[in-house]
A and B are shown apart, each in its own frame.
Chain A
Amino acid sequence: MILSLAWKNIWRSKRRSFVVMSAVAIGVWSIIFMVSFYNSMIGAISRNSLQHDYSHIQIHHEGYLSEPGLGFQVKKPSMLMKFPSQIPDIEAVSSRLIVNGMVASPKTNLGIQVYAIDPADERAVTALSGFLTAGDYFTNIKRNPILLSQKLAEKLKVKVRSKVVITVQDLEANIRAGAFRVSGIFHSKSPRINNGVIYVRHEDLSKLINLPDTAFNEFAYLLKDNESLIETKQMMEAKTNNLVRTYREIAPEFDMIEEGSAISKQVITVIVMLALLFGIINTMLMAVLERTKEIGMLRAIGMFKSKIFFMIVLETFMISWVAAPMGLMAGFLTNLYFEKMGGLDLSQYAGALEQYGGDAIFYPEIAQSTYLLLMLVVMMTALIGAIYPAIKAVNLKPLEAIRKL
């Protein structure tokens, strides 16, 4: 009985109910939009830095952390190379020799990290070859080819086939310089790599600094998926006495960025819900005050206080029940629209976004569970918003209420 009474009450004042419903629906819709937007940005940053920079797992000599350089090379590198055939979840491996140095063009010189790699392996792990904007992937130059980022190329004023000189220190602290030619220019999705990494072939660098072909100080592994990260790490640890770390251990910012975005999403949700709360209290209180006489009458003819209370709460609930799914639907459709339209294009701000390792095109991302969670949050908000007006309704004195107006 109370149920149908509440339902009828809502539709008695269509305009008012419509206003509250719109507020709830727009609030829900905007939360979905913002959350999808955030997810998309954070997802892109994490993905870019995972897939194009850190990879899932890296192996170093345990001394390498405190003193990165040639001094601490990985132990038994041939073992590490075989991991992809031994451990099922590993997709690819890239072995690297990393050394700090300087690159000089006729114009200027810059401090950089030299990554000496096997081109085919590196391509399989970080998809480096996919980022080329000019030249090609180590094939057009016979002797000492080098790959560098667009950013560095602009600073150095070099083009494809330009000559640059790389200066590094060998194991005995002698300065060694070698002439290289630019084979390709890339624009990676990782800002760290764009800002200061250049790629050369392993055989060229090891010749320059007089190290054997088997000298490496970093192994990076790409896994088939993220699920088996920990097991794969443990399997690797059992087979080697080098230091094995997952990308989360190497770069704690993965966790921080995710945590930071979770906090931002919660803050937005709370703010919108607070605004909604004001709207709900506001309207329901009006609804109660407006119906003073009627509620007094109900009380006078013997309706229990608890039932009146319940009726008001139910009215609030119903309004949200009708409105929240509309908002969810609108959010879902907006996301669908952007997906179909090829994402939300913010290329205008590409410079700023790339600086953080994000993408200029946003594809809305949202977990199914968010819809459900949001529904619950709206219910909670409606409940809290209903309490005060309901108490007001209960506390009306039947006699005074009837006499009023």
Chain B
Amino acid sequence: MILYIKLAWRNVWRTKKRTWITASSIAFSVFFACLMQSSQLGSYDNMIDNSARFFTGHLGIHQVDFWEDQIIDNSFDQQALFELDLTNPSILMGVPRLSSFALASHGDRTKGAALFGVSLEEEAAFSYLERKLIKGDYNTERGVLMAAGLAANLNLNVGDTLVLMGQGYHGVNAAGKYSVTGILKFPIPALNQGAIYLPLETLQEFLSAPNMISSYSILLEDSQDTEGMKAHIETILKGKELGVMTWQEMLPDLVSSIELDYYSGWVILIILYVVIGFGIFGTFLMMIKERTYELGILNAIGMTKRRVQIMVAIEIFLLIFLGVLLGVLMATPIILYFWSNPILLSGDAALAMEKFGYEPIIPFALNFKIFYNQGISIFIIALFLAIYPMLAIKQLKIIKALKE
């Protein structure tokens, strides 16, 4: 075996030019494919993380009817959760949330707003809410934090008084006056135009729903590990009127846009690989044709065809390996750089992203899976293409080959 490898190694470096041409075309496709997948996966992670942190959590515990019917009457007493032991190494943290809707007025202006009752301290770690603060104070006892777009529409500023009107628990009228203590700026327009954050107790009081929460959002160590944890929590919740849902169930549109984008990315990659594949095939073709004489000699002096095949197969493997390695080596520093410094979009492109509800950044993911995917894909293609040289060797006619 060592001999085969030695022979193959020498053969590869005997024709340096051909080796580099082949390796560089493989490297180019691997390099590009890695960058593309990294930015795709990075965007998905970012989208999932944003949605999970802000809206649903990776898992959400609700009263059983809540998801079908998201009204204040379908909230539950958070006391029910305190009695349970939800600690698990996969669970990073969980926060209680109460959400409702009300009319927000200031002066002669009124707008509809989504109210989120949260524990501000915990939310700073869960959804990084504190980082969205652009004015005023984050920690407030009885005040509210308003989204910047909504505040501008209502002509409100820090220190002004806001009037909220809506429907409370079991149809009770809800109305209250609150001072605005801080302004939050969200990249997602739906939030920026209509969110008001209040301390949980303040909102419970406003809605006449003491101790009630609409959801308990859980952040997991791994956003993909939802099914297992869901089953685990379901056994804990047994006997209660509570259910647990995964972010995939709660955000089906997100799941399908990720799938759509992922597959359309693969279509581009497959096209790239096919075109590159022809290039690689061309090299194999030459490799055999150019070396008919040499391979014929080997065969003639007693190396069986099977052994010649093994030698050529190792050569092909070395070529592919070199190309993949080169591509990965070129892609890694770039991915590393953009992983720690996501591309921030500005101007028109940023506006377009925001219109579709995304943060205007292009984050990159650092994930072994990316390199693994590309390595495997190229390997499969090469394996397929290697059929030709193997067949050609098998059909080699010694006499004819030696005459060349």
Contacts and interface: CB of A to CB of B under 8 A. Distances in A.
B167 A356 contact: no
Interface string B87-124: 00000000000000101000111111110000000000
B210 interface: no
Given A15-B285, A111-B194, A271-B32, A355 B17 contact: no
Interface residues of B, number: 55
Interface string B26-64: 001100100000000000000000000000000000000
B101 A108 contact: yes
A30 interface: yes
Contacts of A256: 348-349, 351-352, 355
A282 B22 contact: yes
Given A108-B70, A169-B108, A253-B355, A102 B103 contact: yes
B110 A100 contact: yes
B71 interface: yes
Contacts of A278: 21, 24-25, 28, 276, 279
B256 interface: yes
Interface in A265-291: 268, 271-272, 274-276, 278-279, 281-283, 285-286, 289-290
A58 interface: no
Nearest to B113: A111
Nearest to A276: B275
Given A104-B167, A290-B290, A275 B352 contact: no
Contacts of B103: 102, 111, 167, 175
B380 interface: no
A282 B272 contact: no
Contact of A110 (B32, B112, B165, B356): B112
Most interface-central of B21, B194, B260, B275 (chain A CB within 10 A): B275
A157 B167 CA distance: 16
A252 B348 contact: yes
A20 B283 CA distance: 11
A283 B101 contact: no
| Interface hub of B18, B268, B282 (most chain A Cβ within 10 A) | B282
B21 A281 contact: yes
Contact of B112 (A100, A252, A285, A351): A100
Contacts of A19: 278, 281-282, 285
A193 B64 CA distance: 30
A300 interface: no
A271 B256 CA distance: 27
Contacts of A22: 278
A353 B259 CA distance: 11
Given A111-B194, A286-B283, A351 B166 contact: no
A104 to B, nearest CB: 7
A276 B71 CA distance: 58
B343 to A, nearest CB: 14
A315 to B, nearest CB: 14
Given A101-B112, A109-B101, A271-B32, A282 B260 contact: no
Nearest to B166: A109
A272 B271 contact: yes
B279 A282 contact: yes
Contact of A259 (B29, B113, B268, B348): B348
Nearest to B348: A256
Nearest to A28: B275
Contact of B352 (A253, A271, A353): A253
A16 B285 contact: yes
A16 B283 CA distance: 9
Given A275-B25, A282-B279, A34 B268 contact: yes
A341 interface: no
Contacts of B283: 282, 286
Which has the most chain A C-beta neighbours within 10 Å: B101, B107, B286, B356? B286
Nearest to A31: B271
A39 to B, nearest CB: 14
B167 A285 contact: no
A112 B352 contact: no
Contacts of B32: 271
Contacts of A255: 348
B172 interface: no
Given A19-B281, A26-B274, A356-B356, A111 B111 contact: yes
A367 interface: no
Contacts of A349: 256-257, 259-260
A296 interface: no
B168 to A, nearest CB: 12
A403 interface: no
Contacts of A380: none
B289 interface: yes
B85 interface: no
A23 B101 contact: no
In order of increasing CB-CB distance, the 10 nearest A-B pairs are A111-B112, A279-B279, A23-B278, A173-B108, A278-B25, A352-B257, A256-B352, A30-B271, A286-B286, A352-B256
23 contacts: A22-B278, A23-B278, A26-B275, A27-B271, A30-B274, A100-B112, A102-B101, A110-B112, A169-B109, A172-B108, A173-B108, A175-B165, A252-B348, A278-B276, A282-B22, A286-B283, A290-B289, A349-B256, A349-B257, A351-B256, A351-B257, A352-B257, A356-B356
Interface of B: 17-18, 21-22, 24-25, 28-29, 32, 69-72, 101, 103, 107-114, 165-167, 194, 252-253, 256-257, 259-260, 267-268, 271-272, 274-276, 278-279, 281-283, 285-286, 289-290, 348-349, 351-352, 355-356
